[in-house]
A and B are shown apart, each in its own frame.
Chain A
Amino acid sequence: MGNLIIRRVAQMLLIMLTVSLLLFAIFDSDQFREKTAVAELGGFGMATLSDSDYHQWLEKKGLTAPFLSRYVRWLGAILHGDLGQSTEKDIEVSVLLRESLTNTAILAFFVFLIMIPVSLTLGVLAGMNAGSPLDRVISILSVFTTSIPQIATAVLLTVILALGLGWVPAKSAMTDGWSFRALVLPLLTLLLYDIGYLVRMTRAAMTEVMASQYIRTAVLKGLPYWRVILRHALRNALIVPVTLIFLELNGVLSQVVVVEVFFQYAGFGRMLFDAANFGDIQVLQAATLVAVCVAVGSQLLSDAAYVVLNPRVRFT
């Protein structure tokens, strides 16, 4: 177990190094540089800029030094905790990162808070009564909600709840200070999809376990039904959903991009999207590294949970 963690962490560091080099090379391309120039000087200003002025601007930004030296310098800065300055927003990347990660963490916290109990319960109930009307309803609903793209849910919820009924603000920019009501729309959009997904997976696992030999034997032996479920079935059925929940950490980071952009919520996804559009290289690099960290971390947690929960499996 400890071996697993050490190996995975080492792999993660290696991957992050590779990724950071790749990113640096990508953002060093002429395309991205021009993109940053356009964003700062305006499209029209850029078009009328002479070559020497452009070169001067590049020098001012420190973009004319050789590639490797800049990379090494940047690496050194990162290890000292200096993540650079956002050219678009004119604040330090570490500050920006901290704030946006906090915001996304708050959103994710509420998502998980509601999603986990609701979907596990529904999935277990459906799996226990496989084939019954309850199961049918839950299955159909969950397949349906996972088929609707989140942009469609987002717009529909805005039409109904925000502009139609007026219960919640249409955009979550939190201009009047933090309020939970502004969080409702992004929360619902994410939940609708995630709950459906987790219910499907839980139900599949539960039905498989319920059909297995030892459960049927236990019931035939005369053990109380509920005890069988709680003691034996659940423990095995929930292995896969729990590992999936850890992987959802990675999934949420992905889903949250479009939700935050549409609702203008100042979270990690929106920061990444803005930085990519603008060509804000420092932010993009830091954000991508964080994203890689979260992704690999969630995979690691998921695998570790699997090992812990399933004593029959041991990774060599």
Chain B
Amino acid sequence: MNYRVAMLLALVWLPLSAYVMFRPALGALGSYVLLPAIPSVIVLYVLALRSWRESWVAILGVTLVCFWLLMAVTAPYLPLLDPNKPLVPLVTPGGMGHGALFLLGSDMRGRDVLSRTLWGCQRVLVWGITATSVAYVVGAGGGLIGGYLGGWWDELVSFAGNVFLSFPVMVLFILVLNLLGQSGFNIIIAVTCSSAPVIMRIVRGLALDAKSRDYIQAAQTRGEHPLWIMLVELLPNVRGPIIVDACLRLGYTTVAITTLTFLGLGLQPPDPDWGLMIKESATAALLWKYSYMLIAPALSVSSLILGFNLIADGLREMSLRD
């Protein structure tokens, strides 16, 4: 069951990441690379519906998240206006201009708000998921090493983690991004620096707890390699709390990326991005009649984060009930 889910997730994440991060390199392949992701999203949704049937909170959450995942992978194939092409500025939602219908209006430069909103989720999802995943790999790795191997490995890893934990998160982001430059890849590094220590602590605690369990000692007696024990025996048994934490963390990372982009430290223009849309509306559209430029991206990013939060809450509820 786990491997099926993992494979589906990979089928969604890999094409989407390739599309967002490496589109110029893909060339003609770019128009087809997202196709396998579309049915994968749908299958994932159905699987989630079935296994989380009892918690309407989790269902609502996964609906929101899968909606945006679906939008992200189908955006190139939907009949949308070009998100980067300026047509007619400041059209009210539902208005027409230049022969085109602007369902959500157009922004200061004349670009369609609806298509920018739907395209905007690609970058947030890709960089958010990638950054969180990298943070997990690093954090879990550190936690397993520290918890399982103990001794001065533990001291070293814990100290490194504590150094990074001593910074308020935003301060860390600002320092890292100013040092390394502003790009998606550097956001991954920044998020890893801030999230990995916490993950490391959690995993380390779980590892310490599980170390004394029978099945671990049995594996040790068998003479298995410590790395094998960590990955194959230990990790699968701690996945429950980790998934909940992962969803919450995805929520935090999404907020962080949007905020950093707003501050000019994150992803750069010109591609559509919710943080940038909010930023543009903050300088130019502070009037109520233009607030649709703000509401569309704000509602979108809030619904995505809400989705992650609800999944986490729902899963936690379900595990408490067991």
Contacts and interface: CB of A to CB of B under 8 A. Distances in A.
Interface stretch (A108-116, A142-150, A223-231): A142-150
Nearest to A12: B166
B142 to A, nearest CB: 17
Contacts of A102: none
B302 A288 contact: no
B166 A152 contact: no
Interface string A249-270: 0110111011001100000010
B31 interface: no
Given A18-B163, A143-B310, A255-B170, A150 B178 contact: no
A257 B260 CA distance: 11
B170 A276 contact: no
Contacts of B275: 151
Interface in B308-322: 309-310, 313
Interface stretch (A45-53, A76-84, A289-297, A307-315): A289-297
Contact of B167 (A155, A160, A255, A295): A295
Nearest to A31: B179
Nearest to B258: A149
Nearest to A164: B288
11 contacts: A15-B162, A16-B166, A143-B310, A156-B291, A159-B287, A254-B169, A254-B171, A258-B259, A272-B171, A288-B171, A299-B165
A296 B166 contact: yes
A284 B262 CA distance: 21
Interface string B240-268: 00000000000100010011001100000
Contact of B175 (A31, A154, A288): A288
A292 B306 contact: no
Contacts of B282: 151, 154-155, 158, 262
Contact of A146 (B163, B166, B309): B309
Interface of A: 11-12, 15-16, 18-19, 22-23, 26, 29, 31-32, 35, 143-144, 146-152, 154-156, 158-160, 162-164, 170, 250-251, 253-255, 257-258, 261-262, 269, 272-273, 276-277, 284, 287-288, 291-292, 294-296, 299
* 4 closest cross-chain pairs (CB), A and B: A152-B298, A147-B306, A254-B168, A254-B170
A241 B223 CA distance: 45
B175 A26 contact: yes
A150 B278 CA distance: 11
A299 B198 CA distance: 13
Nearest to A155: B282
A255 B165 CA distance: 16
B188 interface: no
A146 B278 CA distance: 18
Interface residues of B, number: 40
A294 B165 CA distance: 12
A158 B286 contact: yes
A148 B278 CA distance: 12
A284 B178 CA distance: 11
Given A149-B259, A254-B169, 13 more contacts: A12-B166, A26-B175, A146-B309, A149-B255, A149-B302, A151-B258, A151-B259, A155-B278, A155-B282, A272-B171, A287-B171, A292-B167, A296-B166
Given A31-B179, A147-B306, A262-B282, A156 B174 contact: no
B223 to A, nearest CB: 33
Given A254-B171, A257-B170, A277 B178 contact: yes
Interface string B105-127: 00000000000000000000000
B170 A258 contact: yes
Contact of A257 (B171, B295, B310): B171
B288 A156 contact: no
Contacts of A261: 263
Contacts of B174: 257, 272-273, 276
A287 B169 CA distance: 14
Contacts of A151: 258-259, 262, 275, 278-279, 282
B132 interface: no
A152 B171 contact: no
A273 B263 contact: yes
Contacts of A155: 278, 281-282, 286, 294, 298
B305 interface: yes
B194 to A, nearest CB: 10
Nearest to A27: B179
B37 interface: no
Nearest to B320: A208
A163 B302 CA distance: 23
A148 B286 contact: no
B301 interface: yes
A294 B291 CA distance: 38
Contacts of A16: 166
Interface string B219-255: 0000000000000000000000000000000010001
Contact of A148 (B169, B298, B310): B298
A271 B310 CA distance: 36
A29 B303 CA distance: 41
B275 to A, nearest CB: 8
Contacts of A11: 162
Nearest to B179: A26
A127 B263 CA distance: 37
Given A32-B179, A258-B262, A295-B165, A152 B170 contact: no
A253 B171 CA distance: 8
B262 to A, nearest CB: 5
